Chains A and B, each alone.
Chain A
Amino acid sequence: MLVHLQGPWTPLIGRLALNQIPYDNPVIVGAFIFSVAAAAVFAGGVTYTGRWEYLWRNWLTTVDHKKIGIMYILVGMVMLFRGFIDAAMIRTQQVMAVGPQSAGHLGALHGYMPPYHFDQVYSAHGAIMLLFAVTPILVGLMNIIVPLQIGARDMAYPYLNAVGLWLTTVGAALVMLSLFVGDFSHAGWVGLTPLTELPYSPGVGVDYWIWAIQISSVGTTLGAINLIATIVKMRAPGMIWSRLPVFTWTAMATNIIGLTAFPVLAATLFLLTLDRYLGTHFFTAGMGGNIMLYTDLFWVWGHPEVYFLVLPAFGILSEIIPTFSEKPLFGYTAMVFASLIIAGASWMVWLHHFFTMGAGPLVNAYFSIATMLVGIPTGVKVFNWAFTMYRARMRFDTPMLWAVGALFLLLIGGLTGMMLAVPAIDFQVHNSVFVIAHFHSMVLLIAFAIMGAISYWFPKVFGFKLDERLGKRVFWYWVVASIMVFVPMYTLGFMGMTRRLDYISHPSWLPLIVLEEIGIGLYWVALYYQVKQIYVSVRDRRKYRAGPDAWWTTRSLEWMTHSPVPFYNFAVTPVVHARDEWAWRKEQGLTSLRPDRYQDIHMPKNTPVPLILGALSFALGFGLVWRIWWLSALSITAIVIVLIVRSFDSNTDYVIPAAEVERMERQGSGASGTTDTGRYPADHTAGKRRFRAARPQNR
């Protein structure tokens, strides 16, 4: 029943062969040397400082939701960097390949990449950015913040949480591996059939794409289960639904999408896998297959997926804007319902990605109007943020800058989205760079929100702030770079420039394309200052130290414990009395963090099992990509055995006695029993002096 393959296959190493390693391509060899060097520096550093045990004990085997969140974010950041390199490669190819006369290098007809290689770059860029950069970062943020915001000790299932992390990491690792061993999919991040069927994608690229996404999406689904259960089951006393912070609400909405949409993707990829491995006919053009079935199923997931990403970003804005406006969020109830409506409606609009497929007018009209309806709750959100700013007292610290930037991006992306939603317009701009510009406005909104969230919650997690001056510089470089890259793209869309072009036949487009390339240069500058900001802030971390309430005007529960947050989160679970509990306590003058008495704390124990499962899944993915059947069978058996063995381990928790908690609270991170609300630490006053006079005296 196995399909006939082009090229050799041996039982021992499957399709793998030495010539699958592109050692003759200088770009890839360079990337390989860079990666190996980075890994060597890291490993050397750990060895030199003798930190392997620390790494193992505190990170690799941890089940602490904050550390898992941090690792999610780190994975996401590395992949964000990789995605950016891809973006730079795309733009460089396009700027070099304009006009029939343009030169070719490294064996390419134009530019420096032949089409098949170029196609892999943007396919990897799209898949990485959406699934292995932004998704892990957002999941990581939710992991860190949601339990804190609802006053929980940990996630509902700490062990499962670690499994989710490692599965996501395996997906990312497979994508990275595809760069050096074999190739990646060349069929766009959407992988439409029949292009991804075996006859038209005979190599292993599409298989890498399938298994990387498949494995990591299992992780995402597990994460969704975990977050929903956490929100439903682990809230502190008094944290009733109508008091839930809006970020937690959006996490809820997002994970409802995740829980229901990702399985559809899993099923779709599974059927495509059967086509490619067993020669079935689900999505082939002939033999009773149906290529549109794939398109439908993919977008049934794909559209909710983009809202899966944007909702937490909305949640982040809903946290940052009130804090820096020194006011409660305007229209809490409307915000909550808008999130849930967006999540629900995201299921009913998928066909707008292929209006041009030739469905009947009524079908197109329905999906057009349904799509536009999503603009209404989104608009409500925009207006509510705006009215949060009304009669506010706004400070423009770095997080607020990112939030405001995101708000404007949403307006631009929304405007163009509403144009795409009209079939008669979409017929002209579908698959053009106008679409690229539309969704980069939207995904940059998410990126902005992420950058804002990181600078906002960084002091909570690490106990010191990131340098503000450099942070603002990064922001402005991002703004200018994004304008330079994506505004010309709208114009090029009107000029009829298609997306995914390896070679650009119109010499007259060159000036705009050059402009975009300059934008990429500015992103590099931004990246430089970003790295510098992190370096400077870590170096001078004493100077940047922050108390529990790092921004002085915060409102929700996570600011009510020490910074950095102790591994048990709250020494004693707080009782919640108001929607913005921390703001409420500050108003009442109840800012002491010291409870009347301490109690025993139950904590889950560290375990290496999730890491082992991850390693085995990696072997499984690798075996399946290269069709090394023995390796696949072996690793899947091992996975089952590990799962069973683990289920016999009933000794998974431990208790910290109350006295010990008290001791840690007194001398550990929380040296100060009370917070320093209202009293600016001396070294923070400099930048704030101008408006300090206008503040009311907090108790």
Chain B
Amino acid sequence: MTPKVLAIRRAPATSARSLGANRKLRHGQIFRPAGLALLCFALLTGCSTHSLSLFHPKGPIAATELHMMIIDAVIMLGIIIPTALLVTWFLWRYRASTSRGSYDPNWSHSTTIEVVVWSVPLMVVAVLGYYSYKGVYEVNPYHPTVIARKADGAPIEVDVIATDWQWLFIYPKQHIATIDELVIPAHTRVQFHLTSAAVTNSFFIPELVGQIYVMPGMPTEQAMMVSDPGTYRGFSAALSGPGFSWMQFQTRAVTERKFARWVAHLQNSPRHLTFPAFDQLARPTINVHQTPQYYSHVQSGLFDHVIEEVRMGKVFTTPMAMTAHM
């Protein structure tokens, strides 16, 4: 069990603010006590706070998403808890076994109450709708305003291709590629282009960025930025077949210098990635230990090539042997 003190130090609102990425995040202060309460509730049923990855955002997008969650939960709890209390009170007070409640056998209408019960939720939805609308732009995968404002310098571009059942990360500018390991510099905008060679997956690094689907035959985009160097778990969050549970990857956010060294190192990797080599690696594979692989000299245009091939009807068929009686 981690001591509670630690939990409070790492409370979501605090870490969100410490980012300083977004002035709006100060709202977090208002909701901080409630956020803590929520965390404590989670703690009651949970064990280690380290695992509550959603409460430890390490990038502006995840932080905004957490912030949204707290706003929404607090507002909703503000109406759900009183309702629950009201019901409980009625249940207690008007139970038949006491004569305390004043029984009124025909009372079944009150215009005042009707007006209130329709209009209060309406107002609450209006508020939530406003936040939701705002949030949609802040974390819009194609153009997240929480990052755009900060972005200076050229972003790192990464093309992500999901296969059955591995992740291929291509750095098109650097002509290198990795499997099941994503390495990026911290404090830099990372621009993802994503597609799949086989079936739909969902690209997700909880502490850094929310999900986006990775679909065959079409590209999607995602942008993110890491505020703390470290290692974060990424994985597919959409069922894609037998190898799905093992479709994970490590995200290592490192300093600019380390990143440059890593790239240079990889560029000397003996294995090259050509179109035919891709066809080999994209065959159905369960990478049980997520062992990373590295490639250099990635044939340029591989990402578009994969999309084009899928559009032309290319499939990486799951062999019957992987399904029958497994």
Please give the residue numbers on chain A whose beta carbons come within 8 Å of chain B beta carbons, in ascending order: 6-7, 22, 24-25, 100, 109, 114-117, 119, 183, 186-188, 192, 194-195, 197, 199-203, 205, 284-287, 291-292, 325-332, 334, 354, 356-358, 360-361, 364-365, 368-369, 372-373, 375-376, 379-380, 382-384, 386-396, 404, 407-408, 411-412, 414-415, 418-419, 421-432, 487-488, 490-491, 493-496, 498-506, 508-509, 511-512, 515, 690-691, 694, 696
Contacts and interface: CB of A to CB of B under 8 A. Distances in A.
Given A284-B313, A393-B96, A430 B132 contact: no
B239 interface: yes
Contacts of B310: 285-286
A603 B44 CA distance: 61
A551 to B, nearest CB: 13
B135 interface: yes
B132 A508 contact: no
A359 to B, nearest CB: 10
Interface stretch (B107-115, B148-156, B176-184): B107-115
13 contacts: A285-B217, A287-B313, A327-B107, A330-B108, A357-B213, A361-B137, A389-B91, A391-B101, A419-B76, A422-B128, A488-B46, A491-B46, A495-B53
A331 B90 contact: no
Given A287-B312, A389-B90, A392-B101, A425 B129 contact: no
Nearest to A505: B248
Contacts of A490: 42, 45
Nearest to A378: B121
Contact of A431 (B106, B141, B237): B237
B51 A506 contact: yes
B65 A427 contact: yes
Given A115-B245, A369-B132, A395 B96 contact: yes
Contact of B210 (A194, A285, A356, A379): A356
Given A22-B325, A328-B108, A393-B96, A422 B206 contact: no
A494 B68 contact: no
- The 7 A-B pairs with the shortest beta carbon distances in the complex, nearest first, are A427-B210, A424-B135, A116-B326, A285-B216, A286-B313, A383-B117, A691-B96
Interface in B179-235: 198-200, 202, 204, 206, 210-213, 215-217, 220-221, 233, 235
A495 B46 contact: yes
Interface stretch (B15-23, B78-86, B274-282, B295-303): B78-86
A325 B93 CA distance: 12
Contacts of A6: 317, 319-320
Contacts of B48: 508
B83 A411 contact: yes
A358 B221 contact: yes
B122 to A, nearest CB: 6
B105 interface: yes
Contacts of B141: 358
A369 B133 contact: yes
A418 B73 CA distance: 8
B217 A431 contact: no
Given A326-B105, A425-B72, A430 B202 contact: yes
Given A394-B96, A422-B131, A694-B99, A114 B320 contact: no
A423 B45 contact: no
A327 B323 contact: no
Contact of A202 (B62, B140, B317): B317
Contacts of A412: 80
B102 interface: yes
Given A202-B320, A495-B52, A387 B113 contact: yes
Contacts of A115: 242-245, 326
B121 A508 contact: no
Given A186-B241, A418-B72, A418-B76, A408 B84 contact: yes
Contacts of A383: 83, 113, 117
B87 interface: yes
Contact of A200 (B212, B233, B318): B318
Contacts of B241: 119, 186, 195, 200
A496 B318 contact: no
Which of A117, A183, A384, A491 is packed against the most chain B CB atoms within 10 Å?
Answer: A491
Nearest to B92: A394
B121 A379 contact: yes
B325 to A, nearest CB: 6
Nearest to A329: B108
Interface in B257-313: 288-289, 310-313
Counting chain B residues whose Cβ lies within 8 A of the other chain, the interface size class is 35 or more
Contacts of A511: 47
Contacts of A330: 107-110, 113
B325 A331 contact: no
A372 B132 contact: yes
A515 to B, nearest CB: 8
Given A203-B324, A391-B107, A424-B210, 20 more contacts: A115-B326, A192-B200, A197-B315, A202-B317, A356-B210, A368-B133, A368-B136, A383-B83, A389-B91, A390-B90, A392-B94, A411-B84, A418-B128, A424-B135, A426-B210, A428-B69, A490-B45, A494-B46, A511-B47, A690-B97
B323 A286 contact: no
A379 B129 CA distance: 16
A495 B198 CA distance: 28
B202 A502 contact: no
Which of B96, B121, B237 is packed against the most chain A CB atoms within 10 Å?
Answer: B96
A202 B318 contact: yes
A496 B206 contact: yes
Nearest to A688: B96
Contact of A376 (B54, B122, B220): B122
Contacts of A431: 202, 211, 237-239
A356 B313 contact: no
A369 B238 CA distance: 24
A361 B244 contact: no
Contact of A365 (B133, B210, B320, B326): B133
B83 A494 contact: no
A117 B86 CA distance: 46
A360 B221 CA distance: 11
Contacts of B233: 496
Nearest to A391: B104
Contacts of B314: 286
B77 interface: yes
Contacts of A512: 45-47
Contacts of A396: 95
B45 A488 contact: yes
B8 interface: no
Contacts of B104: 327, 391
Contacts of B114: 331, 334
A428 B65 contact: yes
Contacts of A284: 313
Contacts of B242: 114-116, 119, 186
B138 interface: yes
Contacts of B200: 192, 194-195, 291
A282 to B, nearest CB: 14
A412 B76 CA distance: 10
A418 B72 CA distance: 8
A424 B237 contact: no
Given A188-B239, A285-B310, A389-B87, A117 B326 contact: yes
